[in-house]
Chains A and B, each alone.
Chain A
Amino acid sequence: QQPVQSPQAVILREGEDAVINCSSSKALYSVHWYRQKHGEAPVFLMILLKGGEQKGHDKISASFNEKKQQSSLYLTASQLSYSGTYFCGTEYAKGTYKYIFGTGTRLKVLA
């Protein structure tokens, strides 16, 4: 079963913050975050491998909880370019190679 993302959709004004969650009923080996613009392929944003890890660059950061069952993506001071659909991607164990995506979160930033 695929990880569940919340919220399903969110609308922001420029400059507002957003949090997108990716939850699994069992531990994940790693989490990757992607953003997909309409009609385009997903683009990789960042990877988290370790429980308790937090990382970020510019105004986008992410965390991975200790049990490795939930990851959150934090978008601060959102810009129009942040609009798109965000997916978490994962495999449940190293070496399984089966790579699946979360349910997705549609984010729209308004001027």
Chain B
Amino acid sequence: SQTIHQWPATLVQPVGSPLSLECTVEGTSNPNLYWYRQAAGRGLQLLFYSVGIGQISSEVPQNLSASRPQDRQFILSSKKLLLSDSGFYLCASRDSSDSPLHFGNGTRLTVT
């Protein structure tokens, strides 16, 4: 089965600072990869998804970007964080359209 590694677990960053969150997947090849954000007490907002190396689909136009430099590596970045970027960031992976998502443990980001 898949294992999704996501780090760090918690992060406190000042407004205007850069961000890089990394996610790596074990136990599968050519997975569909996803980044979600969850504001406190809210639902799961799809940010980006990728079906292959270098292929990124963006769902929310904002100051975040994503990249997939390797088959099982997915990176979420920002050049300048905003207060509204605070939240719980989750990386997820799945094998195919009939498969459920497997999640990493998440990163709790607080922008101050």
Residues of A within 8 A of B (CB): 2, 29-30, 32, 34, 39-44, 47, 49, 87, 89, 91, 94-95, 97-104
Contact = CB atoms under 8 A, between A and B. Distances in A.
B57 A44 contact: no
Size category of the B interface is: 20 to 34
Contacts of B57: 97-98
B43 A41 contact: no
B97 A42 contact: no
B106 interface: yes
B74 interface: no
B100 A41 contact: no
Given A41-B105, A97-B32, A29 B49 contact: no
A3 B40 CA distance: 20
If over half of B's interface residues share one DSSP class (helix, strand or loop), that class is named, otherwise mixed; here it is strand
B49 A97 contact: yes
Interface string B80-112: 000000000010101001101111111010000
B97 A32 contact: no
20 contacts: A29-B97, A32-B100, A34-B100, A39-B108, A40-B105, A87-B43, A87-B44, A89-B101, A94-B98, A97-B51, A97-B97, A98-B49, A99-B32, A99-B46, A100-B46, A101-B36, A101-B44, A102-B43, A104-B42, A104-B43
